Amino acid sequence: MTSNHLTIGGMNKRQKALLLESAIIIGITAAAVVAIINLKQWTSRSEAMQIMERLGQIILQYRKEHGSVPSEDYIRSIEEKLQEQIRLGKLRYRARWISLDSNPDEILAYAEQRFRFSLLSDGYVVLRLDGRVQWSGKEGLQKLLSQQQSKSLPSP
């Protein structure tokens, strides 16, 4: 074996130990980066749900005082104030699908949350007419929205 072509088998103990330590450090660093990214994404999801809960409280108070859900313009003005510190994402407000006889389970608003490089799945923060806030996957939300919209359409 020549000195120019060292192999793992030809390394001395110190070189093997340095290589092993370097691999361990790289592995720990990569795991820490992945953990930090996922923690940040989880925190973002939790904060988005808190904003949606606050929006639900405001809408419930408005309904109590006025007997109906607020207009989209009213919601847009509130949304700007709520998102000054925490970002919710693009809010989809569904007041036009809500009537006086809508059940409390109807979806009133939702916002998409995307998580890149994360163990969390993309999905939606959903606000129900009764003020409940839930997390929903994309397929589940689309199915529920289509069911609720078909019930809300006038029959021919």
Indicate whether 4 belongs to any domain.
no
Handedness of CA 131, 43, 84, 122 (dihedral sign): negative
Q: Provide the residue range defining the domain that includes 43.
A: 12-152
d(CA 70, CA 51): 17
Indicate whether 141 belongs to any domain.
yes
Handedness of CA 64, 92, 111, 73 (dihedral sign): negative
Tell me the whole-structure pTM to 2 decimals: 0.69
Q: Tell me: the pLDDT tens digits for 104-118?
A: 888 899 988 877 666
Query: How many folded domains does the chain comprise?
Result: 1
In this prediction, residue 118 carries a pLDDT of 64
In this prediction, residue 27 carries a pLDDT of 96
Q: What residues contact 106, with CB distance under 8 A and at least 6 apart?
A: 94, 97, 98, 128, 129, 148
In 3D, which of 92, 99, 153, 89 has the Cα closest to residue 127?
92
Indicate whether 99 belongs to any domain.
yes
Indicate whether 55 belongs to any domain.
yes
Indicate whether 1 belongs to any domain.
no
Indicate whether 7 belongs to any domain.
no
Average pLDDT, the chain: 81
Indicate whether 40 belongs to any domain.
yes
Q: Tell me: the pLDDT tens digits for 34-54?
A: 888 888 878 888 888 888 898
In the numeric block, the tokens 């405001």 are attached to 58
Average pLDDT over residues 131-135: 91
In this prediction, residue 85 carries a pLDDT of 55
Indicate whether 46 belongs to any domain.
yes
Q: pLDDT tier at 83 (50, 70, 90 boundaries)?
A: low
